[in-house]
Amino acid sequence: MIRLSTRIASALSLVALSLPVLQASAQQEVPEAPATSLSTPVPAAPVPAAPVFPKPDPANFTAASPTKESVDAFLHYSWGYDDSRLWEVWSIEKTAADGVSKVTLLVGDKNGKEKPAVAEFFALPDGKHIIAQNDLLPFGEHPFADARTVAQQRANGPYRGSVAKDLELVEFADYQCPHCKAAQPNMDKLAVDFPKARIVFQLFPLVSIHPQSARAAAYGVCVNKAGGSDAFFTFTAAVFDGQDGLATTDGATLTLNSAVTKAGLEPDKIEACSNLPATKEAVQNMVKLAADLNINETPTLLVNGRPVPANAPYETIKKIVEFQAGLDGVAAH
């Protein structure tokens, strides 16, 4: 379950793009068009035009850091997968906090379908982080490089695809999260479209809102230990299919044991394994990894360190994977 508000409707959210273009939208009833005779020409709807941003005033660039060039490089890294995205760095200003700069952007799209918007963030003195919409986010020419390294070293969940980690897609998911269940068709498509990718399923139980998630994750750890990746993914698919059963303790027992049986393993042995201190420690290590990567919602997909909602529209995710692979100089297909 996504713990923060779902922001996919606004250019894929803060997590996915590092900087959002937040625009309110509303659906209204459209009044019926007046009747016209066949001889009355109906004017064609105007074709939306790309916005023309006003030229920035040099007086608005009062901060020495970051430079306009570094902001543009960061935005290309973040938004470059979207061919329709336009932006103008409008100002980079000093603030009352020493070394903290306020960056203002004008954002729109080449098709003119979106109303131009203003986006702002604060660049921190270390040159590696920004604050946008109350989130601390990585900044720089390669903002996701550190997260990629951490994931390569510590994301040890079951995987599909390549042994190599050149293109690594790490899905952080919770068995009790309905959005995670909805994301599974995306993950299956990624496995088909990117056979050279290593696609890792990293358990991340959100125990504060999903009481049975840690128990389910412990079962998953034991299934993987006993039966390997094939058994694990069979078990995982069965748990998601029976997700409603995780709502109660008794229902969770039936759901998890049934999923274990479908994976070809013995429920009694998996249950005993799930209660071992070492298993519980493994689950806690998974939670810690998510925290160390600043991931606090599921389903989150790390694409070589770049966070993307795993239940975003598939074609958007596919474009991001291809774009990130190009940035990193690795084969996508």
Q: What are the pLDDT digits (tens) for 147-178?
A: 999 999 999 999 999 999 999 999 999 999 99
Which of 261, 283, 265, 262 lies closest to 274, judged by CA? 283
Q: Rounded to a whole number, what is the distance in angstroms from the first to the last CA of the chain?
A: 30
In the chain, the percentage of residues whose pLDDT exceeds 90 is 80
265 φ/ψ angles, rounded to the nearest 5 degrees: -120, 170
- The domains found in the chain, sorted by start residue, are 6-17+55-141 (no CATH), 146-328 (3.40.30.10)
- Strand pairing class (300-303; 198-203): unpaired
Distance of CA 149 to the CA centre of its chain: 17
Report the amino acid identity of residue 39. Answer: S
Residue 146, H or E segment: helix 145-154
Please indicate whether residue 47 or residue 233 has the higher confidence score (pLDDT): 233
**Averaging pLDDT over each range in 16-20, 108-112, 114-118, 192-196, which range is the top one?**
192-196
pTM of the model as a whole: 0.83
Answer with the residue of higher pLDDT: 245 or 12. 245
Q: For the segment 249-284, what is each residue's pLDDT rounded down to a tens digit?
A: 999 999 999 999 999 999 999 999 999 999 999 999
Quick: pLDDT tens for 123-150. 999 999 999 988 899 999 899 999 999 9
Confidence check: pLDDT of 204 > 80: yes
DSSP 61: B
